[in-house]
Amino acid sequence: MLKTGAQQIGINLSETQIEQFLLYKDLLIEWNNKINLTTIIDEEEIIKKHFLDCMTIAEAVDLSKVNTIIDVGSGAGFPGIVIKIICPNIKVTLVDSLNKRIKFLNIVINELGLENIECIHSRAEDLGKNLSYREKFDLCASRAVAQLSVLSEYTLPFVKVGGMLVALKGPNIEEEMSTGKKAIHILGGKLDKIRDIVVPFTQLNHKIVIIG
């Protein structure tokens, strides 16, 4: 399912990448018993609704042209760790406000042998004022963090000139668009496009919002 689903998205996973995803799945299930990471605990559901869902970013964005990504509100590592596995050359920064999640993410990074990836325990609105991170990233990715207007305020400060914000959203994005467009404009961004995405092996019809 993982390999075939990835191929449907246009990604050919190596044996090493498949092993990394399966170990990630096992760690997620194990640690979810200790700290609340996800409500999705079935193995196949994790593959479909976490791994394949996050991989669909590769349908909307040419990741081969991306060198640096920041994942704001990473949670259990979605979509940042998924992107790191499929694109190991990208430098990834994971940000989350809960330290227990950061501890989990560091365990995943060590167990999977991922390199050139860092975890930061911080609120996005605080880190966005830090000159070491402000306007430093080619791409800011975020999944189910906040309404588009709030999300833009949290995330656009990280995006460098010529970069983009990519937000994975549910099917009802139109409800957020009126206030979202205003916030994006005020923050100096521009709505580029909204991609309709179907996650392999599911009935999930998601939207990927791309803001330049």
Peptide linkage before 79 cis (omega within 30 of 0): yes
Residue 204 is predicted with a pLDDT of 83
Inter-helix orientation angle 99-112/15-32, to 10°: 150
Query: pLDDT of the chain along its 212 residues, tens only?
Result: 999 999 999 999 999 999 999 999 999 999 998 998 988 889 999 999 999 999 999 999 999 999 999 999 999 999 999 999 999 999 999 999 999 999 999 999 999 999 999 999 999 999 999 999 999 999 999 987 788 888 899 999 999 999 999 999 888 787 787 788 888 888 888 889 999 999 999 988 889 999 98
Q: What is the pTM of this model?
A: 0.95
Residue 103 is predicted with a pLDDT of 97
Separation CA 114–CA 55 (nearest Å): 17
Region for residue 127 given its phi and psi (left: phi exceeds 0; alpha: psi -120 to 50; beta: otherwise)? alpha
User: How does pLDDT run across 150-163, given as a tens digit for each residue?
Assistant: 889 999 999 999 99
Residue 142 is predicted with a pLDDT of 93
Exposed e or buried b for every residue in 57-83, given b needs 16+ CB within 10 A? Answer: bbebbebeebebbbbbbbbbbbbbbbb
Domains and CATH numbers, the chain: 2-211 (3.40.50.150)
Residue 177 is predicted with a pLDDT of 79
Residue 50 is predicted with a pLDDT of 95
